[in-house]
Structure 1
């Protein structure tokens, strides 16, 4: 059993290294089986590659599946990525309410980009009623102070 775990850890490390080195075909080969087993790091990177056609033909359904699964397991980067998918209507139907929900989850984990995006959505009334108080709250949370 421990051999399986150490092999999976090695494949994950090698897959992440390949992803970071932009060796996407190699990364896909190493990370795909781990993503299928539910590894959040592998799912997130597979989602990015499937969404952008890196090392594979673009596959919006696969990208959404992996991004959503990783987000549901609590990975902040995936929550942010899933929120953008919903906001932009990329890989899934546009759904501002779900975008807000997932941006808030990522923001709760300290993701400044999610806080800033929430602030802009409230400031512009993008998918939500325009609410300058809510916008200021999120800008402040992101570290932008009104001067």
Structure 2
């Protein structure tokens, strides 16, 4: 193993540890350069910090850019995060159709939160045609036995 890839691994591990322990300024310093080089784990965490102004000033454009890069690379949590951005109109324009598309991708990777949100969107007809059967199927997949409906 070369020294540069060893440093890379150490910076990534240290950056993730800093992020997890809420040392956001340190995390930004370590993960920023890695995110620029296309490291998905670093991009996802940089997106979270840029979105919420953790260890840096809030930067919606950077947050969206990194979240989308990590999502396109197939990172489930980033797919969920990007879907949420589209659903809420946070860091980008509100786009319920794109939100559903990205929640589906994350749900395919087994993210329970994405399955649940998708079920809710089908139940409410947000970004998709209302489909209570599909909502029920998704809730079941997410581990909910019986969903009580009012009425």
Same fold (TM over 0.5): yes
SS at match of 2:119: helix
Whole-angstrom distance in 1 between the partners of 2:58 and 2:146: 42
Whole-angstrom distance in 1 between the partners of 2:112 and 2:121: 14
Q: Kindly report which structure 2 residues correspond to 1:74-89, keeping only aligned pairs within 5 A, or say none.
A: 74-89=74-89
Deviation readout 1:10-60 (Å, 9 max, x if unpaired): 000100111111110000000000000000000000000000000000000
1:63 is matched with which residue? 63
Whole-angstrom distance in 2 between the partners of 1:145 and 1:54: 38
Aligned-CA RMSD value: 1.1
1:20 is matched with which residue? 20
- Per-residue deviation, 1:127: 2.3
Whole-angstrom distance in 1 between the partners of 2:25 and 2:145: 44
SS at match of 1:26: helix
Whole-angstrom distance in 2 between the partners of 1:85 and 1:141: 24
Whole-angstrom distance in 2 between the partners of 1:83 and 1:65: 13
Determine if the alignment matches structure 1 residue 116 to structure 2 residue 113: no
- Per-residue deviation, 1:128: 1.9
- Per-residue deviation, 1:137: 1.2
Determine if the alignment matches structure 1 residue 138 to structure 2 residue 138: yes
Structure 1 runs (4+) greater than 3 angstroms displaced:
none
Whole-angstrom distance in 1 between the partners of 2:72 and 2:5: 23
SS at match of 2:22: coil
